[in-house]
Structure 1
Amino acid sequence: MPKKITIAAAAALPLALLVLAGCATGNADAGSGDGGASNEVVRIGVVGAGDPYWETYKEAAAAEGIEIELVDFSEYTQPNPALSAGELDLNQFQHVIYLATYNVASDDDLQPIGATAIYPLGLYSTQYESVEDIPEGSTVAVPNDESNQARGLLVLQSAGLVELKDGGSIFSTVADVEPSSKVKVEALDAALTATSLPDVAAAIINNDFVEDAGLTFEDAIAVDDPSDPNALPYINIFAARAEDADNPTYLKLVEIYQNSQDVLDGVLEASGGTAVFVDTPAADLVASLSDVEDDIRANQ
C-alpha cells in the first residue's frame, strides 16, 4: 500500500539536511466550473504524461464528470509560463520551492491548491556501486535549476562527498562547494544529468528521468529523507493561477488524485515505490510558498 502522511507544520528555513522533475489556448469555460459539470475540459500540464497512472487519473475524473486534457512538457521550465499565459488550467510537476523560485524570478503569483507526494532525490552512478567508491577529485553532476541544484548538493553533503559553505541551505549553488570537498560538482540541465553518467563519477537525477536513462530507483547509491518534518517545501503540488485557487472543479481534481487508490497505486509503481503521499492542507502549502518566496527575495 502507498505510504500516506500529513505534514501540517510549515518548515523552518533554512532546511535541515534534506537530500528530492506551442499549446492552444486553455478552455475559456474551465475557470467557471461547478466541480462536476459534464463535458468540462481541464488542461493540466505535466512532465511525463506517458506514465500509465495519468490515464487512470483521467478515467477517475471522467467518472466525476470532468474531462482532462494532459499537456506534456519535456522541460521543467515550460509548464509554469504556460499556466500563467492561460494555455493551461493547472499544472502538476513541481514542489513548493520550485514554484517559489519561479514566482520570484518571473514576478508571478501562481498558487498551490493541493498536495500530491514527496519524491526522494537520488544519486546514481554506472561506474561505482557505493558513495565510498567514488574517487577523490572526480566530478559529480547535479541539476542546474536553482531548487533542485540546492537539494542535490545537500544530498552530496549528506553522503560525505562535498562540504557546503555555512552548512548549506535551499539556496546553495555549486559556488558554495568548499574547495576541500572530496569531489568537484558540475551543474547540468536536469534532463542531461542522466546522460552524463558515462562521463562523470555520479549524478543527481530527478525522478522523471531515472527510468528513461535505463536505471531503476533501487540503483540510487544515496537519497534524501522525505519523512523529515522540514520537508514541506519539497511537497509536489497542483498549481493554479491565483484567481483560480478556489475553483471547485480544480479542487475536486485534487481530491480525486488524493483519494483514488488506483491512481495512488499507479503513482507508486511509476516512482519505483519511492513516492510518499501527503494531503497537506492548501493553506499550509500557501504559507510555505510565501515563506520561501520571502527568503528568496532576502537572499537576492
Structure 2
Amino acid sequence: MKLFPSLTALLLSFATLGTAQAQPLRIGVTPGSLADSAQIAAREAKAQGLEVQIVEFTDWTLPNTALVNGDLDLNYYQHQAFLDTFNRENRQDLRAVAVGSRGNIGIFSKRYKSLDSLPTGASVALANDTSNQARAIATLRDAGLVTLRANAPQLAQIDDIASNPKKLKFIEVAGPQLARALDDADITVVSLGGLLQAGQLETARQGLYYSVGSDAFWAIHFVTRADNVKDARVRKFIDIYQQSPAVRQQIHATYANESRFYSLPWLK
C-alpha cells in the first residue's frame, strides 16, 4: 500500500523535471557585443542539449523588470553598480551569479581633438541614471577635468563635484541615447560598446581619454532571481559562455578587434 503513493510521486517528479528541461532558458540582453556573444553561446548550448532563447531589449530597465516578473530566467546587460541601484530603488533581490565582459568607457568629441582644447563652458553629455553617471563622473575626475568633494560616495553624482575649472555644463541623457549626443555636446562620456553599436567606430578610435581596466565591478554580470540562483541551466550556460573560444572571438570582433576597448575579467 505504501509503494503506490511513492510511485505516483516519483512519476510526478519525472514529469515536472521533463517540463522544466523542455522550457528554453530565457536570457535578456542588450544589442551589440552582449547579444552577439550570447547568441554564439546559445548555439553551442543547443549542441549540448540546452535550449536557449535570447531576448534583446533596447531599454535599460525592462530586462530587470522582465526578470522580476518571471518572463526571463537570466539577464546579461548590467554592471554591479547598476544592479545595486536597481535593487535598492525597487526593493528587489536580483543576484549577480557570474561576471562577463567589461566594456571600457571614455571621453569623445566630434568638435575637439584634445581635452586641452576644450573651451570654458564646454557641454558634457553623460548618463542620467545613478550608476552610469557615477562612472562618467569618475572618468571626468580621472581625466583631470573635475574633482570631487572629500566625502563623496562611491557612486558620485554631478552634485558631488567640488571643483570644475572649465565650468563644464552637464547634459544628462538616457544611457541608450548617449552615442547620439555626440552631435549635440562638446564632449560625451560613453562606453565603447555604445559607440560601436551606433556605428561610431572612427570616433571610438579617436577618444580624448580612455578609462580602461579589468575590474569586475564595472563588468557586465549574469543576473538572476534569488530563487533561481541554483538553476543548473543557468550554471551550464555561463560555463559555456566563459569557456568558449568562439564567444571570445565574437566579443573581440564586436569591439572592432580593438583589445583596448574591452576586457574579460573572468580570465584574470
| TM-score (normalizing by structure 1) | 0.75
Q: Is 1:141 aligned to residue 140 of structure 2?
A: no
CA contact (8 A) 1:33 1:247 kept: no
CA distance in 2, matches of 1:136, 1:163: 16
Partner of 2:29: 46
CA contact (8 A) 1:43 1:89 kept: yes
Q: Where is the helix percentage greater, Structure 1 or Structure 2? A: 2
CA distance in 2, matches of 1:167, 1:210: 33
Partner of 1:191: 176
Q: In the alignment, residue 44 of structure 1 is paired with which amino acid?
A: I
Gapped regions of structure 1 (runs ≥ 5): 1-31, 282-300
Cα 1:212/1:115, change in 2 over 3 Å: closer
Partner of 2:8: none
Q: 1:64 aligns with which of 48, 53, 59?
A: 48
Identity of matched residues, %: 27
Q: Is 1:265 aligned to residue 249 of structure 2?
A: yes
CA distance in 2, matches of 1:47, 1:179: 35
Cα 1:238/1:33, change in 2 over 3 Å: farther
| TM-score (normalizing by structure 2) | 0.83
Bigger Rg over Cα = 2
CA distance in 2, matches of 1:225, 1:52: 22
CA contact (8 A) 2:32 2:254 kept: no
Q: In the alignment, residue 215 of structure 1 is paired with which amino acid?
A: Q
Q: Is 1:226 aligned to residue 209 of structure 2?
A: no
Deviation at 1:40, TM superposition (A): 4.3
- Please, which moves more after superposition, 121-130 or 252-261? 121-130
Deviation at 1:52, TM superposition (A): 3.7
Cα 1:167/1:269, change in 2 over 3 Å: farther
Gapped regions of structure 2 (runs ≥ 5): 1-15
Deviation at 1:33, TM superposition (A): 7.0
Q: Deviations over 1:222-242 (max 9, x none)?
A: 122314xxx332121110100
Deviation at 1:138, TM superposition (A): 0.7
Partner of 1:290: none
Structural RMSD (CA):
2.4
Partner of 2:195: 210
Q: Is 1:120 aligned to residue 108 of structure 2?
A: no
Runs of 4+ aligned structure 1 residues displaced above 6 Å come to: none
Partner of 2:95: 111
Deviation at 1:208, TM superposition (A): 3.9
Partner of 1:13: none
